[in-house]
Amino acid sequence: MKITLKVWRQANKDAAGSMVTYQLDGVSENSSFLEMLDMLNEQLTSQNQEPVAFDYDCREGICGMCGIVINGSAHGRYESDVATTTCQLHMRSFRDGDVIEVEPWRTGAFPVVKDLVVDRSAFDRIIQAGGFISVNTGSAPEAHSTPAPKRQADRAFDVATCIGCGACVAACPNGAGMLFTSAKITHLANLPQGQPERRLRVKAMIAAHDENGFGGCQNVGECASVCPKEIPLESIAQLNRDLIASMFRGDGKSTD
Amino acid sequence: MAFTGLVLIFFLLMHMFGNLKVFVGQEAYNFYAGWLKAEVLYPILPHGWFIWIFRVFLLTCLVLHVYCMATLWAASLRGRGSSYVRTNRRQQTWSSKFMRWLGLTLATLLLLHLLMFTIGGVTFGAFEFVAHDPYSMFIGAFSQWWIVLIYAIFVGAVCMHVRHGFYSAFTTLGINVGPGARQTLNVLAYFVAGLLFAGFILPPLGVLLGMV
């Protein structure tokens, strides 16, 4: 395959970036998108040019490190029904001679570090605000002492698959991190261990979400439609229900 | 945003239903309008009080709605950051994309609407403000095709704004519990939006086509 790449190049977070065009020949349609970028970088290195910086780790869709906007769609999902991360996207999704535009996640909360690499530590700060449970450690409790109903356990697990890649924020017209935040809220709200701090958690996490420069949710649904882990949009409704409940319950009131 | 929006949608439904009275005739329409202004809740409240309480309530809702919109818009501009060279949306509809612009269009045309029919002071061709005779105003205004056209844009914007707003408001209130609920909400949103459009556009069309 012969393709034309237009890649966002930005030297550092303060520099002005621009799209730079590269030609790439002999791309195998069986290579993944990241392998194609590796090819580009080898070509650039041999020409004594700076390679394109991009994030990746596991290359099997479970770590959440990779994430770029390909032809205007987060992780290059396009119209495809198949949820995908960038590393799981293969070049057979493109045609010979295609022009492919590659951009970093662009949102206020994730500043570009270099080229296609963004700083997603805003997500960490949301998790630090409440994405945990507090337990006194000691000897392991008896496994059956806190039963988790099957249905709730399944729902919790489905949203716990969030890998924090940031595609939801990248795709959101408002740059909101609601799907990410609600995935963690829904995960812990469906488990017995998450109950004691449930109402405080939702308030703290939403406060951290807003403080870290994310926008507000307009219920457009772009986030869930590009999510590689198919976190459902109704997670956001779970977050909203918990947030509303926290306003009318004693355990939703902060004590400090 | 959600709560005030739903209040305004409910008001629009009542307003739309009232407008259909124009098909009944001048007396019925003017009586209904007079009753709204003076008689509602009469023995409980003195004549003419309800309408002002209701106006203040609606205006408060509207102001809160706009205030929420302004803060959210600011947050959204900050949250969005620099724009993409190319965007390829999968879910966004025309309604949700232009929600805020539709709202601003609505606000502008609403001002014109109030100036024409409630406050008075503007005259367009055969239309002039007549106190206590809304029927004549209705006929005067909508016998001119271009006023009907502007009104159609107004009501079209209402329809699109409500289509996304109805679904979005209930989602914000946490009712979107799953794909089934989402579909139900969407169907209801289309129904309410369609009903509003049809109910609001029929009387002016009736006037224009000489059926009233």
Chain B positions in Cβ-Cβ contact with residue A220 (cut-off 8 Å): 91-93, 96-97
Contact A129, A35 (CB under 8 A): no
Yes or no, beta carbons of A220 and B92 under 8 Å apart: yes
Mean pLDDT of B154-177: 95
A109 found inside a domain? no
Question: Are residues A17 and A93 part of one domain?
Answer: yes
What is the reported pLDDT for A58? 95
| Residue A123, CA distances (Å) to A74, A84, A178, A180, A205 in order | 17, 20, 11, 8, 10
Question: Are residues A197 and A94 part of one domain?
Answer: no
| A213: nearest CA partner in chain B | B79
Of A19, A77, A106, the CB nearest to B82: A106
Mean pLDDT of B66-90: 91
Question: Are residues A162 and A92 part of one domain?
Answer: no
Pairing mode, if any, of strands A99-103 and A112-114? unpaired
| B180: nearest CA partner in chain A | A234
> Over the stretch A182-237, which tens digit does the pLDDT of each residue have?
999 999 999 999 999 999 999 999 999 999 999 999 999 999 999 999 999 999 99
Q: What is the CATH number of the domain that holds A216?
A: 1.10.1060.10
Yes or no, beta carbons of A8 and B85 under 8 Å apart: yes
Question: Are residues A127 and A181 part of one domain?
Answer: yes
A113 found inside a domain? no
* Position B53 confidence tier, pLDDT thresholds 50, 70, 90: very high
> Over the stretch B186-204, which tens digit does the pLDDT of each residue have?
999 999 999 999 999 999 9
Give the mutation candidate from A8, A80, A234, A235 for the B interface (greatest B CB count, under 10 A). A234
Range of the domain at A63: 3-103
CB pairs under 8 A between A and B: 126
Question: Are residues A75 and A127 part of one domain?
Answer: no
| B75: nearest CA partner in chain A | A215
Cα(A88)–Cα(B111) distance, rounded to whole angstroms? 53
Yes or no, beta carbons of B79 and A8 under 8 Å apart: no
Chain A positions in Cβ-Cβ contact with residue B182 (cut-off 8 Å): 233-234
Of A69, A109, A174, the CB nearest to B84: A69
Chain A positions in Cβ-Cβ contact with residue B90 (cut-off 8 Å): 73, 77, 79, 171, 222, 225-226
pTM of the predicted protein model: 0.91
Mean pLDDT of B15-43: 91
What is the reported pLDDT for B119? 87
pLDDT less than 50: residues of chain A: none
* Position B30 confidence tier, pLDDT thresholds 50, 70, 90: very high
3-state secondary structure of B120: coil
How many domains would you assign to chain B?
Answer: 1
Yes or no, beta carbons of B82 and A79 under 8 Å apart: no
The per-type count for chain B, helices as H runs and strands as E runs, is: 8, 0
Yes or no, beta carbons of A215 and B167 under 8 Å apart: no
What is the reported pLDDT for A154? 95
Give the mutation candidate from B171, B182, B185 for the A interface (greatest A CB count, under 10 A). B171
Of B85, B175, B182, the CB nearest to A101: B85
Mean pLDDT of B82-109: 91
Q: Does A176 touch chain B (CB under 8 A)?
A: yes
The answer to whether residue B212 scores a pLDDT higher than 80 is: no
Of A215, A219, A221, the CB nearest to B76: A215
A111 found inside a domain? no
Question: Are residues A68 and A175 part of one domain?
Answer: no
Residue given tokens 């590269």 in the structure block: A22
Q: What is the CATH number of the domain that holds A95?
A: 3.10.20.30
What is the reported pLDDT for B132? 84
What is the reported pLDDT for A254? 67
Chain B positions with Cβ closer than 8 Å to A: 72, 75-93, 96-97, 99, 164, 167-168, 171-179, 181-182
Q: Which helix (H) or strand (E) holds A9?
A: strand A3-9
Chain B positions in Cβ-Cβ contact with residue A77 (cut-off 8 Å): 90
Question: Are residues A67 and A165 part of one domain?
Answer: no
Question: Are residues A154 and A93 part of one domain?
Answer: no
> Over the stretch B97-143, which tens digit does the pLDDT of each residue have?
999 999 999 999 999 999 988 888 788 877 888 888 899 999 989 99
Question: Are residues A246 and A128 part of one domain?
Answer: yes
Q: What is the CATH number of the domain that holds B162?
A: 1.20.1300.10
Question: Are residues A186 and A98 part of one domain?
Answer: no
Residue given tokens 């709730």 in the structure block: A152
Contact A179, B171 (CB under 8 A): no
A183 found inside a domain? yes
How many domains would you assign to chain A?
Answer: 2
Helical residues (DSSP H) of A145-233, grouped into ranges: 150-160, 167-171, 178-189, 198-211, 222-226
